[in-house]
Amino acid sequence: ENARLYKALDVRVRELAVLHELSRSVTGQLDRAGILDTVHRQVVRLLDVQNLSVLLVDEERDRLSLELRVRHGRRFDDGEPLSYPRALAGLSWVVCDTGRSIRTTDYVAECARHGIAPLAPFADMPHQLLVPMAAGDRVLGVLALGSPDRVFTEADERLLGNIAQLVALMLRSARLYEERTRALGELGAAQDQ
C-alpha cells in the first residue's frame, strides 16, 4: 500500500513539476509563435508523443485554424495555418462544442459514435487524446495528441487538460496584447494625421 501511494505521489509530483516548468516557460511570452513553440517542445518531451496538433477557433469564419502540427516528431511550418470548416474538422469540433475531452483507442469508431467522418491523416493513429483549451467559459481551441500504438491514460488526460488551460490563458493574453498594440498604433496614426 505504501509503495502504491509512493508511486501515485511520485506521478503527481512529476505532473506538478511539468506544469510549473511549462508555466515558467510561457510566462511573459506575449507572442503566439513563442507560446506554440514552447508547447511543442514541452508537450512532446513530457508526454513522449510524436503527433501533436493545436487548433484555434476562428469565430468570425466558424472554422478551426491549425496553428501547430507535429507529425512523426517533425514540426510542419507551412507559413499560413490551415483552416478547417466545421464539417471537416473531425473530433476537434466535438471538443469545441462540448468543452469536454475525448480519449479513445479507436479513432474511427469514436468518429462514428459522434456521427462525423474520420479524417484521413488520423486513420493510422487509433489512439487519440483531444482536450479543450478553455479560458473561463470560452473554448479557444483544441490540443490534440495521436499515436499509432501508445494508449493515453487518465493521468495523461488530466495533465494535458491542465497544460491546455494554461496555454489558453497565455494565448488569450497574447491576443489582448496584440489588440492593444494595434489600437495604440491606430491611435498614434490618428494623432499624427
Is pTM beyond 0.95 here?
no
pLDDT at 79: 61
**Residue 138 in this model has a pLDDT that exceeds 70:** yes
CA distance 57 to 141: 5
CA distance 50 to 127: 12
For range 106-119, the mean pLDDT: 90
pLDDT at 167: 85
Q: What is the pLDDT of residues 52-105, one digit of tens each?
A: 889 999 888 888 888 888 888 778 776 666 888 877 888 998 999 899 999 999
Bridge-based pairing state of the strands 102-104 and 138-147: unpaired
CA distance 69 to 108: 20
For range 143-171, the mean pLDDT: 89
CA distance 59 to 91: 18
- Which residues, 6+ apart, have CB-to-CB distance to 125 below 8 Å? 51, 107, 146, 147, 148
> Based on C-alpha coordinates, what's the Rg of the chain?
18
CA distance 151 to 14: 19
- For 111-118, the CB contacts below 8 A with 24+ separation are 116/90, 116/91, 117/90, 118/90
Cell of 183: 489600437
| Burial of residue 22, with CB atoms counted within 10 A of its CB: 0-12 exposed, 13-18 middle, 19 or more buried | buried
Amino acid in the structure at residue 141? G
